[in-house]
Each structure stands twice: as C-alpha cells, then as structure tokens.
Amino acid sequence: MSSVFPLTQEVTRLRSGGVVTDPFGNEVPGAPVEDQIMVFAWWVGSSGEPYPSGHVERVESDASVIAAPGDFEPSDQVILPGVGLFEVEGRPANFDNNPWWSPGVETVALRMVEG
C-alpha cells in the first residue's frame, strides 16, 4: 500500500546481525546490521530525570518515528540525527485497520536512557 505521507527524513536502523559462533564454540549475538531508513517524520518528546536509587544523573527521553509499516521491529535500535541512539519500545502502532482511512504509516515509540 502506498502512503499519502512522503518518506523524506533519514534515520539509521540497527538490527541484530543474528547469532554467530565465537572462537570457543559459543553462540553469541552477531554485529548489528546498520541500514538507512527513510521515514515521514520523527521527534523527541518528553524527557525526565526520575532519580532511581544510585542513578542521580539518569535522563530518560521519549521519541517517535512515523515510518512505513514493517520497517521497525521491537528489537531494533534507531539513531536519530543529531540526537543519538534510541531503543524501539514495543511494537509499532498501526492505524490501517479501521473503516474510514488507512494512512499507510505506523508510529514507532522510542526510548533513550542516559546515565
């Protein structure tokens, strides 16, 4: 399905490179695969300093990406230009299953924890 939302903004997606065997015969995570993904939009929303015990300099930031369906999975990481590395949080929200309109894009929730 094509979307009425043009994908004009570029972000970097990091996806697991699968499982490889190390020199000792152990299965370990492979190097992540880095891809440039075009999205409609992205933004950094709220940010907070929750101060959990022992983490007085922790900052948590939320962001969102509007992307083509299927471009992001819950295990992916995303680098937003000029901001940094975020983890995909849960499954993307897809609004195509309704009787009125199918936007052809989905919202991907992101989270960054520093400190």
How many angstroms separate the CA atoms of 24 and 90, rounded? 34
How many angstroms separate the CA atoms of 22 and 28, rounded? 7
Banded pLDDT at 83 (limits 50, 70, 90): very high
Q: Judge whether 11 and 80 are in contact, CB under 8 Å.
A: yes
- Among 96, 87, 76, smallest CA distance to 5 is for 96
pLDDT for 23-62, tens place per residue?
999 999 888 999 999 999 999 987 776 666 665 677 888 9
**Domains, the chain, ordered by start:** 9-114 (2.40.10)
Q: Judge whether 32 and 47 are in contact, CB under 8 Å.
A: no
- Among 46, 56, 54, smallest CA distance to 112 is for 46
* Distances from the Cα of 9 to the Cα of 18, 40, 66, angstroms: 27, 6, 10
How many other CB atoms are found less than 10 A from the CB of residue 1?
Answer: 9
pLDDT for 71-81, tens place per residue?
999 999 999 99
pTM of the model: 0.82
Q: Judge whether 19 and 30 are in contact, CB under 8 Å.
A: yes
